[in-house]
Amino acid sequence: MQAAASQTVSGLGPIDILVLNGPGPKPGAAATLGSEDIAAAFDTLVRPQQALVSLTLPGMRERRWGRILAVGSSGVVAPLPNLAMSNTGRAALAAYLKTLAAEVALDGVTVNLLLPGRIATDRVTELDQAAAKRRGTTLEDIRLESRKTIPARRYGEPAEFGAAAAFLCSAPASYITGVALRCDGGLIRSL
């Protein structure tokens, strides 16, 4: 990780924007998790992100400008069924980043989370296919059922998610820090 960060800095210059995005752990119910699953969630969704922050944050603080944005999940706000490892690891990352946001705000560094709902990505297709198989139905039936739970009645487009991310990483977003912004078409019913 250190080598990749050094190579980036030597090729492109200082890192002012860091976007953290960990892979989605395997689906599964909370009751079936063992201690090794909890450790795996932490090792996948917290340790590498914290290591990247540690490598890039000193320069951001020194330059008095930086953006750290983590791609999370709406499961941070309302845990998602059958995604216990993801819910656990992403909630731990959210707690770390919320704490960090308060510590670095005075240095001009913002730290935020962007929480996707059902965005039309390969990962969502993978989860929908697993649900279809588990329930003995079709992928389209799962998607139709899922869209009915979203007030916008559709999956989000990656470009919509990207636009929200770009804003949070921009100069006009300098007063937004420690926030978990949902991009979910209204899926989560709380404010």
- Contact status, residue 112 vs residue 178, Cβ threshold 8 Å: yes
Pairing assessment for the beta strands 66-71 and 17-21 based on DSSP bridges: parallel
pLDDT of residue 25: 87
pLDDT of residue 159: 98
Query: Which ranges of 74-138 would DSSP assign to H, the alpha helix?
Result: 84-104, 122-135
Give the domains, in start order, of the chain with CATH numbers: 15-118+161-183 (3.40.50.720)
The model carries a pTM of: 0.92
Instruction: Return the SS3 of 171.
Output: helix
pLDDT of residue 191: 84
Q: Given the structure tokens 């400008």, which residue do they identify? A: 65
Task: Round to whole Å and give the CA distance between 89 and 158.
Answer: 23
Task: Round to whole Å and give the CA distance between 114 and 182.
Answer: 6
Task: Round to whole Å and give the CA distance between 55 and 120.
Answer: 32
pLDDT in tens, the chain (191 residues): 888 888 888 899 999 999 999 888 888 999 999 999 999 999 999 999 999 999 999 999 999 999 999 999 998 999 988 899 999 999 999 999 999 999 999 999 999 999 999 999 998 999 899 999 999 999 999 999 999 999 999 999 999 999 999 999 999 999 999 999 999 999 998 88
Residues paired with 156 in a beta bridge: 119
